[in-house]
Amino acid sequence: MARIIHEPSAIERAVVQSSVKIFMINGPSRTSIAHLIKSTGFSKAQFYKHFENKQDLYAAILLENEQDFGSRISDMRKRESLSKLLEDFLLFRIEDIEKFRLLIEIEVELDESNNRCERYLNWKALNQQHISEFTEVVASHLPLSADREDAYAYYALVWAMARGFCSIAETDRFYNLVQDRRAFTQFLLKALQNLTSINLEKGGS
């Protein structure tokens, strides 16, 4: 049975968006709720009316991003080729690399904690739904001989590329090797396109 996910209120959206900016500057683990309340301009009563605790806020951030991804899937369905579809997915993950790094950090923290608030469960359910929807779109571009595992492999490929880019993007070694991050992003997209073309040619032969 599908979970019912309610639309966030205007205040919840505002707190989430303000908190993301603060977390990206200070880091989520180094930012207390008291600091968030002071920085966002919302009262303590307003915060706790909408969020149980800091973990609940983390889950709200993940859920909002997941809902954004759901909207992007609708656009991805219109792509004429698998390579363009995968490029869209990769860009969605790395177009704001600092935010993506934040999402990874709070996802890991929530997964490792025993906190299973309603928003967290909603995010997990929606995430699984979107993986299924995305791989269905991928499968529609694959040869008839391909199976569903191939579609999941493409999802994992893009996810691994995004996570890898996120891990190295702020290191000294990356800056020594790559001076232009935007050009490197274009290189990744081209590499993804070439790899996809090679795999499709092999699958169709």
Give the model confidence (pLDDT) of 54-73 as tens digits.
999 999 999 999 999 999 99
Range of the domain at 116: 54-204
pLDDT bin (cut points 50, 70, 90) of residue 203 is: low
64 and 151 both lie in a single domain:
yes
Indicate the burial class of 15 (C-beta count within 10 angstroms; 0-12, 13-18, 19 or more).
buried
Q: What is the pLDDT of residues 113-169, one digit of tens each?
A: 877 889 999 999 999 999 999 999 999 988 887 888 999 999 999 999 999 888 887
Question: Which of 13, 120, 4, 99 minimizes the C-alpha distance to 56?
Answer: 120
Q: What is the pLDDT of residues 168-189, one digit of tens each?
A: 877 777 777 777 777 888 888 8
DSSP state at residue 117: -
Q: How far is CA 45 from CA 52, 56, 59, 99, in A?
A: 11, 15, 19, 27
Token code pair at residue 100? 């993506």
Question: What is the number of domains present in the chain?
Answer: 2
Q: Looking at the domain assignment, is residue 191 inside a domain?
A: yes
44 and 120 both lie in a single domain:
no
What string of DSSP letters covers 134-196? HHHHHHTTS-TT--HHHHHHHHHHHHHHHHHHHHHTTSHHHHHH-S-HHHHHHHHHHHHHHHH
Lowest-confidence region among 39-43, 58-62, 195-199? 195-199
40 and 117 both lie in a single domain:
no
The pLDDT > 70 percentage for the chain reads 95
37 and 87 both lie in a single domain:
no
Q: How far is CA 79 from CA 87, 116, 173, 176, in A?
A: 10, 36, 35, 36
15 and 90 both lie in a single domain:
no
Residue in this structure with the two tokens 């600092």, named with its chain if needed: 98
pLDDT of residue 128: 95
CA distance linking residue 3 with residue 193, whole number of Å: 36
118 and 24 both lie in a single domain:
no
